[in-house]
């Protein structure tokens, strides 16, 4: 038994955030997520996240502070999801290692089928939007 550490990017562009759809044959195929991936052994988390975003979407981002940390069990598989607030640097994403992507407001995320571990992150984004009104 061990814990898998996964980094994910909450990339803000105005009032929208980027979400990505997992490939059909991946774990949790076709679900939506915050783009990112598994942290390599000994890897610095922000550097790992920049690497994953390059691999998955072919773009550079600036990784800021932690937005949320989620501990989730998928059956016996434990993941620790480190979600960072990230700055979009103006490059268009490409579907390099994902099926699709969308820029959505937090409210629009309600209609998307996210991986379970991401639900607290979506809820936090939605609460934040409500406070801003
Ligand atoms: N990237 C990412 N993975 C997530 C999120 N939520 C969530 O449960 N996961 C899970 C799905 C996967 O089981 C695991 C991350 O694996 P991955 O397949 O994205 O990572 P990777 O690109 O390094 O994978 P690999 O194909 O190189 O093995 O964490 C999320 O918001 N983003």
* Per-residue pLDDT tens over the stretch 15-62: 999 999 999 999 999 999 999 999 999 999 999 999 999 999 999 999
Q: Which atom of ligand 1 sits closest to the CA of residue 8?
A: 32
If one counts every other C-beta atom within 10 angstroms of the C-beta of residue 8, the result is 26
**Residue-wise burial string across 93-128, b where 16 or more C-beta atoms lie within 10 A, e elsewhere:** beeebbeebebbebeebeeeebbebbebbbebbeee
State whether the beta carbon of 37 lies less than 6 angstroms from ligand 1: yes
In this prediction the ipTM stands at 0.94
For residue 127, report the distance from its CA to the centre of ligand 1, in Å.
25
Q: Which atom of ligand 1 sits closest to the CA of residue 22?
A: 19
Q: What CATH code would you report for 3-131?
A: 3.90.79.10
Q: Domain ranges for the chain, please list them.
A: 3-131
Determine the residue of 4, 6, 48 to mutate for testing ligand 1's pocket, defined as the one with the most ligand atoms within 8 A of the Cβ atom: 6
CA 18, 36, 121, 64: dihedral to nearest 10 degrees?
-80
| pTM metric for this prediction | 0.95
């Amino acid at each position: 038994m061990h814990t898998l550490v996964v980094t994910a990017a909450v990339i803000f562009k105005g009032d929208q955030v980027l979400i990505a759809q997992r490939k059909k044959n991946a774990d949790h195929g076709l679900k939506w997520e915050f783009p990112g991936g598994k942290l390599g052994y000994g890897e610095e988390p922000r550097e790992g996240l920049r690497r994953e975003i390059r691999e998955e979407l072919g773009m550079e981002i600036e990784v800021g502070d932690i937005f949320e940390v989620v501990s989730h069990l998928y059956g016996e598989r434990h993941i620790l999801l480190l979600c960072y607030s990230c700055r979009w640097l103006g490059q268009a994403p490409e579907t390099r290692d994902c099926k699709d992507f969308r820029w959505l407001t937090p409210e629009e995320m309600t209609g998307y089928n996210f991986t379970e571990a991401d639900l607290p992150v979506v809820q936090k984004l939605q609460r934040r939007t409500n406070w801003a009104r």
